[in-house]
Amino acid sequence: MILVTGATGNVGRQVVTQLLATGAPVRALTRDPAAAGLPAGVEVVGGDLSDPGSLESALTGVDSVFLVWPFLSAEGAPAVLDAIAGHARHVVYLSSAGVNEDAERQDGPINQFHFDMERLIEKSRPRWTFLRSGTIASNALGWAAQIRDTGVVRGLTDSKAVIHERDIAAVAVRVLTEGGHGGAKHVLTGPRELTKDEQVRAIGEAIGRPLRFEEVTAEAARPQMLADGWPPELVKALLDGAQAPTRPALITSVVEEITGAPPRTFRTWAADHADDFR
């Protein structure tokens, strides 16, 4: 039995769907099972990672756990990891490609909590695998309101090899159902580096409308991100991380090495999600 946390999120939902396609027994953890809307065949159970005591029934009989940590610090993680260790033999943790193993203090709070989580997981009893993901393409869904309302996306500029959530899930499924990944730290990225302007134009092509990206300062980005519905604590973490020194783009071939298929392009992602922006 494989337990998927974050099962109703962008990555977790794909992990559930793709595991089901392999015939693996899947259990999905969600705070509200009645509203999960997950495919038939998955066992949906209630539980909350903020309440380790609520996880016992979800973990009973579980061999492996796909762990998405939904908080911006590792506080509270030791008790959750102890609960997992009482049942599971393997933890697959969705981490960040921005983690720097050579530094105790990371660039930005998001990389810091992933670094802290990795260290805690390494000390726990189950064997582990880290999926260090690059920027997930589904983050662009946060632009949907701006695209629908004005056709202009305003934000901080950067350039990343963004990765389709389906590719992260495809790797996760292989790691969860095959041997040989214990102790591995897989860095997952999309096929090429893209600017925010290129991403926005690809979405425009997918929906048949001209769109453009407009770079703004961090102070101007903050109210726009809040208006788009991003949680205040996440907005702060993202903007704090944006102040870190720029690194060269990281591009790996790990997705293809593990799954046998090259990572999907952002244009493919935009076509898959076109209805979300209309």
CATH topology of domain 2-135+163-190+248-263: Rossmann fold (3.40.50)
pLDDT above 80: residue 241: no
Is 118 within 8 Å of 100 (Cβ atoms)? no
Q: pLDDT value at position 213?
A: 97
* Strand boundaries in 151-196, DSSP class E: 152-155, 159-160, 185-188, 194-195
> H or E stretch including 96?
strand 90-96
Using the structure block, give the residue that is written with the tokens 């389709």: 164
Q: Between the CA atoms of 99, 104, 108 and 109, what dihedral angle is there, to the nearest 10 degrees?
A: 100
- CA–CA separation, 15 vs 242, rounded Å? 29
Residue 6 binned pLDDT confidence (cut-offs 50, 70, 90): very high
- pLDDT of residue 110 exceeding 70: yes
Q: Once rounded to an integer, what is the mean pLDDT over residues 12-40?
A: 96
Q: Would you say residue 158 has pLDDT above 90? A: no
Give the integer Cα–Cα distance in Å for 186 and 250: 13
What pLDDT score does 108 carry? 82
Contact 30/7 with Cβ under 8 angstroms? yes
Element (H, E) at 129: strand 127-133
Mean pLDDT for 154-160 is 89
259, pLDDT greater than 90 = yes
Average pLDDT value for residue range 196-203: 97
Average pLDDT over residues 217-237: 79
Task: Give domain limits for the chain.
Answer: 2-135+163-190+248-263
pLDDT at 123 over 90: yes
Band (247; pLDDT cuts 50, 70, 90): low
Q: What is the mean pLDDT of residues 58-63?
A: 97
**pLDDT of res. 243:** 65
Half-sphere exposure in the Cβ direction for 246 (13 Å, CA): 7
Residue 209 pLDDT class (50, 70, 90 cuts)? very high
User: In which element (H, E) is residue 266 found?
Assistant: helix 266-272
The string of pLDDT tens digits covering residues 65-91 is 999 999 989 999 999 999 999 999 999
Q: What is the pLDDT averaged over residues 50-66?
A: 96
